[in-house]
A = this chain, B = another copy of it.
Amino acid sequence: MFKILHTNGRARRGEFSTVHGTIQTPVFMNVGTLAAIKGAVSTMDLKEIGCQVELSNTYHLHLRPGDAVIKELGGLRKFMNWDRPILTDSGGFQVFSLAGLRKIKEEGVSFQSHIDGHRIFMGPEESMRIQSNLASTIAMAFDECVENPAPYDYVKASCGRTYRWLERCKAEMARLNSLSDTINKNQLLFGINQGGTYDDLRIEHMKQIAKLDLPGYAIGGLAVGESHEEMYHILDMVVPHAPEDKPRYLMGVGTPANIIESVARGVDFFDCVMASRNARHGFIFTRHGTMNMMNEKYSKDTLPLDPDCQCPTCRNYTRAYIRHLFKAGEMLAMRLCVLHNLYFYNELMSRIRGAIEEDRFDKFREDNVEKLSKRL
């Protein structure tokens, strides 16, 4: 299912085959939390900007419009008119970051909806059932995401529980995939490594979950308070213990530099809201560094956002026009910038894949890590 086509150092150029299409890795998944990319980007737009995998959020869709409704309407891919792969998260992260009044037990978590405060219970089985209703290509395991730094003993106990939850996720997913009215009977479950910033807990947990022989493994609980250096250190420690022949997904990360550094450490899948969220606020990524489109200096600038970019925005509009749209409060500003930033990320991954294939990833990393972070 996962085929490594080429390696360059620890960086891997792979192909992940699913019933909804083949994913070229390393890949950046484009986030559409509520079954839509924020910024009025349609699924037609998504295809045009080279998105391979869309990512939606289980917790949000469970609340609105409800996973039962989405199942009735044929699953999330049909609902949002996206015929390529979708990854759904488990809801775990949102339960721990968005919801109120949490109570964690062995069985699962009870919490309050962030919309109307009503009491909800979600455990491994509930998360799998919701994701099965959504019928995504890849479902994520239900885990506890602990903020960094956290006390050693708490993280250790949490890792144990997250492991037991993963066993239950695996069993429930197998059961759901065997039911006759399940939309995607080939739904894939990715496990999630936790362990905070503790090397021994991270490694121990990864060794444990690796034995469950899942189709993919994520590294969770990073980019939640620790420094970039700590994050890279954890990757250096834990990735060697992840199965070689399974894709590795670093959840919720990150800047272009973070992505390049993580690919260099053997990561294959990425997602981050930063690309689209920054765009909606006028913060633009380019091959030459980052730009703030609110800046007065762009008010008469007739260049595209990035003269070297082939995205629909850069092929058609100027910096001066886009700055005007932001200043005038026109929604189109957000859409044009989201299209650009997502294209930039998708294109960055394509350039990374090319560099690995041609054994020049080290050079690519050297040339780009600092440059892409530069403020223009």
Contact = CB atoms under 8 A, between A and B. Distances in A.
A318 B35 CA distance: 13
Given A35-B321, A81-B316, A320-B79, A69 B331 contact: no
A309 to B, nearest CB: 16
A117 to B, nearest CB: 18
B299 A332 contact: no
B81 A327 contact: no
Contact of A44 (B39, B302, B312): B312
Given A65-B327, A79-B320, A335 B73 contact: no
Count of chain copies: 2
Contacts of A79: 318, 320-321, 324
A253 to B, nearest CB: 25
A330 B69 contact: no
A120 interface: no
Interface string A298-312: 011010000000001
Nearest to A327: B64
A350 B36 CA distance: 32
B41 A299 contact: no
Nearest to A280: B331
A59 to B, nearest CB: 13
Interface in A61-96: 64-65, 69, 72-74, 79-81
A38 interface: yes
A152 interface: no
A203 interface: no
Contact of A37 (B317, B327, B332, B334): B332
**Count class of interface residues, chain A:** 35 or more
A252 B36 CA distance: 33
B332 A331 contact: no
Nearest to A316: B81
A373 interface: no
Contact of A331 (B302, B320, B334): B334
A325 interface: yes
Interface in A27-57: 34-44
Contacts of A317: 81
A331 B331 contact: yes
Contacts of A65: 299, 320, 324, 327-328
B42 A320 contact: no
Given A40-B331, A65-B299, 5 more contacts: A34-B325, A65-B328, A79-B321, A79-B324, A331-B335
5 contacts: A35-B325, A42-B312, A42-B316, A43-B316, A69-B320
